[in-house]
Structures are given as C-alpha cells and as structure tokens.
Amino acid sequence: MLLVADVGNTNAVFALFERDGKGGHTIRTRWRIATDPRRTGDEYAVWLLQLLQIEGYSRDDVNQFVIGSVVPRAVHNLTLFARKYFDVEAIIAGAGESGWGFEIDVEEPRSLGADRALNAIAAHKCYEGDLIVIDFGTATTVDAIDFTGAYKGGIIAPGINLSLDALVGNTAKLPRIAIEKPRSDSVIGRNTEDQMLIGVFWGYIAMIEGLVTRMKAEIGRPCKVIATGGLAVLFDDHTTLFDHVDSELTLEGLAIFADRHSS
C-alpha cells in the first residue's frame, strides 16, 4: 500500500492508497493533523500508527511513502519517520532527478508549490482539455493548465479564513464569525455579523468568478474549472462556476506521482 502526506501551511493530510495491480489505486482512509514543522518522527508515529491500527492496517502494509510539502521544515522529520517506522525511503514529490514530469511554462519554474504541481498532474490525468484549477487553502490559488498538461501560470490570493483573520485581528469591535452562507441572499446586511458574512462570503465568490472570467478570456479556448480544497463544496452550492469539485485532487496527484516514480 502507498502512504502519502500532503503537508500544507495549516494542515497535513495523510492518506492510504491500495493499488489494484493494474495501474489503479483507491483511497482507503485519510487523516488530518495540524501542520507543525517541529513535530518529530516519533510524534508522527505515536499518532499515525494508532490510527492505522484502528482502521485495520499495520505498518507492514505500507511499502511506499510519498511526501508533497509546501513547508520545507516539515520534510526532514517526515523522512525520518518513514525510515524508522516503515523501513522505506520517503519520496519527496518534485525533488531530485525525477522532477515533476510536465512543462512549467513560467518565469521561475522552481517557485511552483508542490500542492499546485500535484493538482496540475491529477487534473490533467482526470480531466480533458484546458483546465483552470482553484484550490481553496490557506491561500487560494487559481492555476491554468493547458491541454498538453503544461502549467501556464496562475493567481495567488489570500484564503478566505486568512482574510477573515486579518479583518477581525485589525479592527477593535468586529466579532469573529464562522464561514457560512448568509441567512438571506440580500447583500444589504441589517447587523454587524450579517454585514461581515456578506462581505466575506459573497465578496469571495465575486472575486473568484471575476478572476476566472478574466482568465478564461485570456486563454481564449473552452476551459473546465476544477475546484478543490476544504471550502470548495460550500462555494459550489452558490455559484455555477465549477465544472467539477474534486476534494481529493492533491492526494490523487501524489498517488500518480508515486506510480510514475515506481514505473
């Protein structure tokens, strides 16, 4: 079985894939933990080995471990964790001679984050044609992948929770609110909480719709829009922008990368 770790700025997601022997794979289970670059390999083991056992698996079931990380400081301890507890050398997605395996057509190819590269790999394999991939994470990214699978560039914007944190943290009287759809479709709020929610929720949808409209016009060809990340499902209920919502896109990219590395 394949164990993957998608390490983001806020959370790290681990997933266990089972291979079918015919080039396919299926996610059997996944776990999420807060990202902490100081967490040691032993601490990962105390947490993850118990969860594996709860799900009916053991460390002996894992014969490959792949890491995709946008937090460089976390990689070393995860590598030690793989070596000590699974007796495997972790593969770092995008590192070494293997690279990413697709064209990165931007001014600074090495600056492309692992999560965005993995999204590009999975999106191109799973969906046809020109693609726009939106990832709602700590930052929200909007990326253009052409029909050949080449990464053509994109957009980085503050994530919605990051925007809300900045709003609440830099004002004296505004309360903390949860991200959810406003109670009505009106954009004229009648109290402070509703006004904040309207600004954050509908403002964010308007921003994404506007950016994707501009990107589609610049590409000049039909594009599918793929959404991923924790809030993609919430936004999907209130916009017609997305052609597909794929919450497993980055994990799928890690599995595809592992398959290519194994072949």
Q: Write down the catalytic residue from 42, 60, 87, 115.
A: 115
Helix runs in the chain, H state only: 41-54, 72-86, 114-126, 160-169, 192-197, 203-219, 232-236, 249-262
Give the integer Cα–Cα distance in Å for 122 and 213. Answer: 23
Q: What's phi and psi for 107, nearest 5 deg? A: -70, -35
194 is catalytic: no
Are 46 and 9 in contact by the 8 Å Cβ rule? The answer is: no
Are 182 and 194 in contact by the 8 Å Cβ rule? The answer is: yes
Are 67 and 93 in contact by the 8 Å Cβ rule? The answer is: yes
Cα-based torsion angle of the residue sequence 41, 122, 232, 11 in order, rounded to the nearest 10 degrees: 10
Q: Within 13 Å and on the Cβ side, how many CA atoms surround 193? A: 10
Taking phi first (over 0 means left), then psi (-120 to 50 degrees means alpha), and beta for anything else, what does residue 153 get?
left
Give the active site residues: 115
